[in-house]
């Protein structure tokens, strides 16, 4: 018996347009046991959407609801309860799961945190169980000819519906404005790992769905006829090819090779995939409902972004472009927008030809004015690399201090300011181009001091650690910190427990003759891929301040220079040891993968100490990635 999926007819839609396809079933067998076998719970074709697609939705929704509950509890639970020892011990265990990761140096690869891996493992178990657990995989062939129960094999049917159930969540985790972020507090860039993993699962399920049909129809000799007359085959192949491009072209090396082309081709392939996947499903059972939900979610995300861009911010922002002392591009935008430390904006530069149609994320390196409604200066420091940033750098070099119209989309992500305010001691760690990311945190700390009494000021501390192998960046950062301090009232600085440590990790040759233009328009050495460098031999005037070398005139006392790599696990351990009981230590980092791995595992190790010692202390970690797209 041919089932509903194998009908022939018009080249586009074979089935009537409906959001809930027909489930009328009449058994054509002569024996009761054959009818009962065909309508078995795990392989009845007419209920396959309810058996596989709906549980997939329930699986993802369960994870989202659990994280939403956790988010609501942390937001609304009284501070006294959150600071209790039992709660701190529970939080320490959860944070250990969130921070513990592994690294393969040879591949310059960090694993996802253990907690994320466990979520991925749960998904793997679910999809393997739902695909391979039910039996049979193929219909029994009693007469040695065509299967008696239809041409849609059970394993192909269920894998197809499992993939269909994934579709709304692939789209939802891809959006910058999305419901998951709203209800869980997890920003869109941190959802990218789930966007990729769900996409991988959906692609594998699509392959499992495809091959049984091909093998079967080649075996019975009507593959060409099916291709010529059935919508399901050629639309399925087009959708699968587009899905393969979406999957493999998203791998890091290919994505970074030409990001602008990747982004354009990704959106185009996604459109082709969704369109032909829709044609492929052909209104079968409830398949159209999943596309309706997907379109609604995508439209809501897109509409929300457009309203923010054009109604909240407008299109009349004009940015002033210049070259900073370290060779980075400085973009300054007067705006009434509000943002927090660590947040990023997507910026569209409107005077760079075809690049005006692209939009790129950059971290805000300033804080908005304290006065609500007042105009603020939104500053970005952009490291010139290849593609768009190289073209922008050449433009600014040819047109210094020029102005350009920009469109802002954001802010997104950033540091949880409640967590930041709850930290009595803070350690901020950055590497290379993460220097600009540090500046808003220093400004936020100085602002916080100004609102505290002298007694409370003494309980607050900020330790900043910058590791860089570019002396121009080091010099620029020192001047930027000095400007922040100069703008702060003297009485506030008197009670400030602030230290800034700059570790130079470059070569001795660069230390003796540094490039005055820093890294501008040069082929940059990625800190993530650089070799391990031992402490260079430098002249006496370049040695660490801790060794007694004289400080240059005008250098703030809180700034120290070192000429080796910081021992980050040891630094974090010591900070945790000197931390008073019932206090919170915050660790904030932005840097290469090796730095992130060292910091994350050092903080994870401290979580285990908190559990063993009874939860009298608390340590919190925020990591900002160089690249998450």
pLDDT in tens, 449-500: 888 777 777 788 899 999 998 888 888 999 999 988 888 877 777 667 889 9
Rounded CA-CA distance 361/305 in Å is: 14
- Residue 554 pLDDT: 54
- Residue 532 pLDDT: 35
Rounded CA-CA distance 159/205 in Å is: 5
Give the percent of the chain with pLDDT over 70. 86
> Chain-centre distance of CA 494, in angstroms?
40
- The predicted model gives 571-580 an average pLDDT of 87
The yes-or-no verdict on residue 537 having pLDDT over 80 is: no
Query: Which secondary-structure segment (H or E) carries 490?
Result: helix 490-494
390-397 LR contacts (CB < 8 Å, sep 24+): 390/521, 391/352, 391/355, 392/321, 392/329, 392/349, 392/352, 392/355, 393/323, 393/329, 393/520, 393/521, 394/521, 395/321, 395/352, 396/321, 396/322, 396/323, 396/329, 397/323, 397/520, 397/521
- Residue 326 pLDDT: 85
- The predicted model gives 412-434 an average pLDDT of 87
- Residue 518, number of CB atoms within 10 A of its CB: 24
pLDDT in tens, 156-214: 999 999 999 999 999 999 988 899 999 999 999 899 999 999 999 999 999 999 999 88
Rounded CA-CA distance 396/583 in Å is: 47
Reported confidence tier of residue 359, pLDDT bands at 50, 70, 90? confident
The yes-or-no verdict on residue 128 having pLDDT over 60 is: yes
- 184 burial (CB, 10 Å; 0-12 / 13-18 / 19+) is buried
Reported confidence tier of residue 510, pLDDT bands at 50, 70, 90? low
**β-pairing, 584-591 with 425-431?**
parallel
- Residue 323 pLDDT: 92
The yes-or-no verdict on residue 340 having pLDDT over 50 is: yes
- The predicted model gives 542-553 an average pLDDT of 44
Tell me the domains of the chain and their CATH numbers.
4-35+51-135+154-306 (no CATH), 314-413 (2.40.30.230), 417-625 (3.40.50.80)
Reported confidence tier of residue 17, pLDDT bands at 50, 70, 90? low
Least confident interval from 368-372, 393-397, 441-445, 580-584: 580-584
Reported confidence tier of residue 143, pLDDT bands at 50, 70, 90? low
The yes-or-no verdict on residue 546 having pLDDT over 60 is: no
Least confident interval from 289-298, 386-395, 585-594: 386-395
Reported confidence tier of residue 516, pLDDT bands at 50, 70, 90? very low
Least confident interval from 2-16, 175-189, 531-545, 608-622: 531-545
- Residue 607 pLDDT: 93
pLDDT in tens, 224-239: 888 887 888 889 999 9
First-to-last alpha carbon distance for the chain, in angstroms, is: 48
- Residue 531 pLDDT: 32
The yes-or-no verdict on residue 628 having pLDDT over 80 is: no
- Residue 145 pLDDT: 52
- The predicted model gives 137-159 an average pLDDT of 76
Rounded CA-CA distance 198/233 in Å is: 24
- Residue 529 pLDDT: 34
- Residue 534 pLDDT: 32
- 375 and 335 Cβ atoms separated by less than 8 Å: yes
Reported confidence tier of residue 513, pLDDT bands at 50, 70, 90? very low
Reported confidence tier of residue 535, pLDDT bands at 50, 70, 90? very low
- The predicted model gives 3-22 an average pLDDT of 54
Mean pLDDT over each residue of the chain, to the nearest integer: 84
- Residue 147 pLDDT: 53
Select the more confidently predicted residue: 391 or 544. 391
């Amino acid at each position: 018996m041919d089932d509903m999926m194998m009908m022939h007819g018009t080249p586009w839609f074979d089935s009537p347009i409906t959001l809930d396809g027909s489930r009328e079933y009449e058994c054509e067998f002569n024996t009761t046991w054959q009818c009962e076998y065909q309508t078995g719970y795990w392989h009845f074709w007419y209920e396959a959407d309810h058996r596989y697609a709906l549980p997939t939705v329930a699986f993802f929704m369960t994870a989202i609801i659990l994280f939403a509950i956790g988010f609501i509890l942390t937001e609304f639970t009284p501070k006294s309860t959150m600071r209790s020892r039992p709660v701190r011990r529970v939080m320490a265990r959860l944070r250990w799961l969130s921070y513990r990761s592994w690294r393969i140096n040879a591949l310059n690869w960090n694993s996802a945190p253990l907690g994320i891996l466990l979520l991925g493992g749960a998904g793997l178990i679910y999809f393997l169980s739902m695909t391979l657990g039910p039996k049979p995989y193929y219909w029994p062939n009693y007469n040695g000819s065509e299967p008696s129960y239809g041409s849609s094999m059970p394993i192909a049917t269920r894998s197809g519906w499992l993939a269909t159930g994934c579709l709304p969540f692939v789209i939802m985790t891809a959006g910058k404005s999305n419901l998951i972020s709203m209800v869980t507090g997890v920003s869109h860039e941190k959802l990218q790992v789930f966007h990729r993993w769900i996409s991988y699962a959906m692609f594998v399920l699509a392959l499992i769905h495809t091959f049984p049909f091909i093998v079967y129809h080649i075996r019975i000799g009507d593959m060409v006829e099916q291709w010529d007359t059935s919508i399901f085959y050629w639309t399925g192949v087009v959708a699968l090819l587009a899905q393969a491009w979406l999957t493999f072209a998203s791998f890091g090396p290919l994505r970074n090779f030409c990001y602008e082309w990747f982004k354009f081709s990704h959106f185009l392939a996604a459109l082709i995939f969704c369109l032909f996947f829709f044609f492929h499903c052909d209104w079968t059972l409830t398949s159209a409902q999943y596309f309706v939900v997907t379109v609604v979610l995508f439209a809501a995300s897109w509409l929300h972004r457009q309203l923010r861009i054009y109604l909240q911010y407008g299109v009349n922002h004009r940015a002033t472009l210049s070259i900073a002392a370290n060779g980075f591009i400085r973009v300054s935008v007067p705006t009434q927008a509000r943002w927090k430390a660590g947040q990023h904006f997507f910026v569209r530069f409107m005077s760079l030809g075809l690049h005006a149609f692209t939009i790129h994320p950059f971290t805000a390196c300033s804080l908005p004015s304290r006065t609500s409604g007042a105009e603020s200066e939104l500053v970005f420091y952009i490291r010139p690399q290849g593609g768009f940033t190289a073209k922008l750098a050449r433009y600014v070099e040819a047109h210094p201090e020029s102005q350009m119209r920009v469109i802002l989309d954001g802010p997104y992500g950033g540091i949880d300011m409640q967590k930041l305010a709850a930290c009595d001691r803070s350690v901020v760690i950055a590497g290379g181009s993460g220097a600009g990311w540090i500046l808003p945190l220093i400004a936020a700390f100085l602002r916080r001091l100004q609102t505290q009494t002298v007694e409370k000021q003494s309980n607050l501390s900020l330790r900043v650690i910058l590791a860089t192998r570019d002396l121009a960046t080091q010099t620029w950062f020192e001047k930027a910190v000095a400007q922040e301090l100069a703008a702060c009232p003297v009485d506030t600085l008197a009670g400030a427990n602030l230290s800034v440590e700059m570790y130079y990790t470059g070569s001795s040759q660069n230390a003796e003759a540094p490039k005055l233009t820093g890294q501008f328009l040069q082929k940059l050495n990625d800190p993530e891929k650089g070799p391990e460098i031992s402490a260079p031999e430098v002249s006496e005037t370049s040695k660490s301040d801790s060794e007694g070398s004289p400080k240059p005139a005008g250098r703030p006392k809180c700034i120290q220079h070192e000429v080796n790599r910081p021992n980050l696990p040891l630094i974090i351990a010591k900070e945790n040891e000197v931390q008073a009981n019932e206090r919170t230590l915050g660790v904030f980092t932005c840097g290469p993968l090796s730095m992130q791995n060292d910091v994350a595992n050092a903080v994870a190790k401290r979580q285990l100490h908190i559990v063993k010692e009874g939860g009298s202390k608390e340590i919190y970690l925020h990591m900002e990635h160089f690249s998450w797209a």
